[in-house]
Amino acid sequence: MSAEEYARFGEMKMIMHHIYEFSGLILCTLCKTYADIIIKRLQKQGIGYIIQNVGNRKVNLYFGKRACLDAVSSFIHKPLNLLTPEEDFMLGTMLGYDITLQCERFCSRKAKSIA
């Protein structure tokens, strides 16, 4: 894919920006074709990554700091909707989601899992 073709895809621009500014952990869900392009860039820049298949055509691509990837790899062997409340909280927090909302989500999911 040429540089001009890259420029036409807004999604790709956003992901390239994430690569440029990543600080901990990034998660992108995208088609396998885009993932292949992004992985080449990550490899070129020496950034670690993990791929999680989401179906026949999509993947979750995690990239970032090795410690974050090591932690995430301990529980992403299953679909994200099957994460325990604790795993879901940990992932959301690692991705930088609002901590108060993550706490509310955790409490709600924990209450449902006990019921």
pLDDT value for 4: 57
- Tell me the mean pLDDT per 10 residues along the chain, length 115: 58 63 82 90 93 93 94 94 96 93 96 88
pLDDT value for 40: 92
Q: For 3-59, what is the HEC assignment?
A: HHHHHCCHHHHHHHHHHHHCCCEEEEEEEHHHHHHHHHHHHHHCCEEEEEECCCCEE
Domains of the chain: 3-76 (3.30.2190.10), 83-115 (no CATH)
pLDDT value for 90: 96
pLDDT value for 34: 87
Evaluate whether 27 touches 93 at the Cβ level (below 8 Å).
no
Evaluate whether 16 touches 41 at the Cβ level (below 8 Å).
yes
Which residues is 27 bridged to in the sheet? 62
